[in-house]
């Protein structure tokens, strides 16, 4: 299978784009780089895979990023055609032969050998080449947008895998707690302090907890496969992805984000489209002046046995008038681009506002759960466990408190997931560079890994230490 490659700098910088770092001139150059590579870019065989690895693999092996290589080649081919001079045509004309009477046979034959071509006026080849040149520049911006979209999707799949890993950790804790609860209930039943009904319910709860763990493991495997498919692997060569969940940063105000939209690739695309259309309009204006068709040659007159030169020119009339409709159509397309740009800006502003609202809401939820919900629930779980073992609370109170505690942990994970997903959405829409905190999971042995060190915060995941469940002390 033939693969493509992007240089190391392109991978690092484009990855930065997807996570919200600035699209610098070097970034633009990296994004537009498309060259073939060998089939050697593969996922490392190890237990965990980092975000840096997934970006490197995706940029090296995702076909949608390399469509632009062929689109550029198409323009290069069209440019060669557009730069050609008008063709030189050779012709032969026979007159006054095979007739009747005096022109029977070839007695009066006249033979003309001609060359003909067109004189292009108003520098039309340059106008055509200018249109293609602007189209090529436009494709660079389109490639930036495509790269942001691809790596935004990679980011979302990576987040999902991390969320499922965290969920699996919670469910493993839930299974441990269910086992501890079952053992505690069984002791009370054996001692005659609790009815057998409670033991059966604890047994069913343990079985359900084991099932939940198995289902979560399956979901995680499918999520890892979906992630690996981004770079063409159908069987993941890793078992987990690296990261922590509860590491957030301020993404700025709506005013700052709205200003960033104005210079984002999505809006820059309209500027490039306008340049292409303006070049197209200049080509139409150049066509207002008609080309001159000329003919020159030699004529052999059989009747007098002489040779003469012939010449001729042809100029279409009323060319500008006939070209008026095309000019008006192209001018209308140019004017429409500005309207489309303003419409797109408003659409982006709305989408960013929605994502920012979701980001803010999720951050508030995470903070509230960590600070005001988890601590009292942890204390309540300790109290109800001790009270149950002393015979002061029922099994139902213990189980309901335990389930509420576990559900809150799952809600916390979902809220943290929404923080990162909404941030990814904002970064994809704006292409904005957001300064990232340092991450302990990043490598430090090379300059490239130092660049990624600033980025790993964006989709990191780890359970905060203040919500580890008490059952871990009873294994």
In the block, residue with structure tokens 């991390």: 162
Q: Which residues contact 128 (CB under 8 A, 6 or more apart)?
A: 82, 83, 283
Determine the Cα–Cα distance for residues 154 and 60; give it in Å rounded to an integer: 13
Q: Phi and psi of 66, rounded to 5°?
A: -110, 5
Model pLDDT, residue 44: 57
Confidence of residue 323 (pLDDT cuts 50, 70, 90): confident
Confidence tier at 341 by pLDDT (50, 70, 90):
very high
How many CB atoms sit inside 10 A of residue 42's CB?
13
* Helix or strand holding residue 307 (H, E): strand 306-314
Whether the CB-CB separation of 48 and 144 falls below 8 Å is answered with: no
Judged by DSSP in three states, 210 sits in helix
Other beta carbons within 10 angstroms of residue 159's beta carbon come to 27
Residue 91 pLDDT greater than 50, yes or no = yes
Helix locations, 230-323, DSSP H: 254-262, 265-286, 319-322
pLDDT in tens, 103-159: 677 767 788 888 888 888 878 888 889 999 999 999 999 988 888 888 889 999 999
Query: Does residue 252 surpass a pLDDT of 70?
Result: yes
pLDDT at 108: 72
- Rounded Cα distance, 14 and 11, in Å: 5
Q: Is the pLDDT of residue 31 over 80?
A: no
β-bridge partners, 292: 119
179-234 tens-digit pLDDT: 999 998 998 888 888 889 988 999 999 999 999 999 999 999 999 999 999 998 88
Whole-number average pLDDT of the chain? 79
Whole-angstrom distance, CA of residue 25 vs CA of residue 413: 37
Contacts with 120 (C-beta within 8 Å, 6 or more apart), sequence order: 86, 291
Question: Which of 338, 327, 223 shows the shortest CA–CA distance to 284?
Answer: 327
Q: In percent, how much of the chain has pLDDT > 70?
A: 80
Task: State the pLDDT at residue 432.
Answer: 64
* Residue showing tokens 């997807």: 18
**Mean pLDDT confidence for 240-249:** 86
Of the two residues 465 and 92, the one the predictor is more confident about is 92
pLDDT of residue 29: 32
């Amino acid at each position: 299978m033939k693969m493509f490659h992007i240089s190391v700098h392109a991978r690092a910088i484009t990855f930065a784009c997807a996570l919200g770092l600035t699209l610098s001139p070097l970034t633009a150059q990296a994004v537009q780089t498309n060259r073939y590579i060998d089939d050697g870019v593969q996922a490392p065989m190890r237990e965990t895979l980092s975000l840096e690895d997934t970006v490197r693999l995706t940029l090296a092996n995702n076909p949608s990023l390399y469509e632009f290589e062929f689109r550029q080649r198409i323009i290069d081919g069209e440019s060669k055609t557009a730069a050609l001079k008008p063709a030189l045509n050779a012709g032969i004309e026979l007159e006054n032969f095979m007739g009747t009477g005096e022109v029977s046979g070839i007695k009066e034959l006249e033979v003309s050998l001609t060359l003909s071509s067109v004189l292009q006026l108003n520098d039309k080849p340059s106008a055509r080449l200018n249109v293609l040149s602007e189209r090529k520049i436009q494709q660079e911006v389109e490639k930036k947008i495509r790269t942001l979209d691809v790596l935004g999707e990679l980011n979302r799949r990576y987040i999902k895998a991390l969320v499922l890993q965290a969920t699996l950790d919670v469910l493993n804790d839930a299974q441990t707690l269910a086992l501890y609860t079952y053992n505690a209930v069984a002791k009370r039943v054996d001692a005659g302090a609790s009815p057998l009904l409670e033991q059966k319910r604890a047994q069913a709860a343990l079985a359900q907890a084991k099932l939940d763990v198995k289902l979560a493991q399956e979901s995680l495997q499918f999520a890892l496969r979906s992630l690996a498919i981004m770079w063409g692997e159908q069987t993941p060569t890793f078992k987990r992805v690296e990261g922590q969940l509860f590491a957030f940063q301020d993404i700025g105000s709506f005013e700052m984000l709205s200003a960033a939209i104005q210079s984002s690739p999505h809006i820059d695309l309209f500027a490039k489209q306008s340049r292409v259309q303006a070049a197209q309009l200049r080509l139409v204006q150049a066509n207002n002046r008609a080309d001159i068709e000329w003919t020159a040659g030699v004529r052999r007159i059989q009747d007098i046995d002489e040779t003469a030169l012939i010449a001729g020119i042809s100029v279409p009339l009323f060319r500008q008038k006939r070209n008026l409709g095309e000019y008006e159509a192209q001018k209308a397309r140019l004017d429409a681009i500005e309207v489309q740009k303003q419409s797109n800006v408003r659409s982006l502003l709305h989408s960013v506002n929605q994502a920012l609202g979701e980001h803010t809401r999720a951050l508030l939820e995470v903070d509230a759960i960590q600070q005001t919900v988890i601590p009292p629930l942890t204390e309540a779980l300790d109290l109800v466990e001790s009270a149950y073992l002393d015979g002061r609370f029922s099994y139902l109170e213990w189980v309901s408190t335990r389930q509420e505690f576990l559900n809150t942990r799952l809600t916390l994970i979902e809220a943290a997931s929404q923080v990162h997903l909404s941030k990814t959405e904002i970064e994809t829409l704006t292409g904005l560079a957001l300064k990232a905190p340092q991450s302990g999971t990043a490598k430090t042995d090379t300059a490239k890994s130092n660049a990624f060190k600033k980025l790993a915060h964006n989709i990191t995941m780890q359970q905060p230490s203040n919500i580890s469940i008490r059952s871990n002390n009873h294994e």
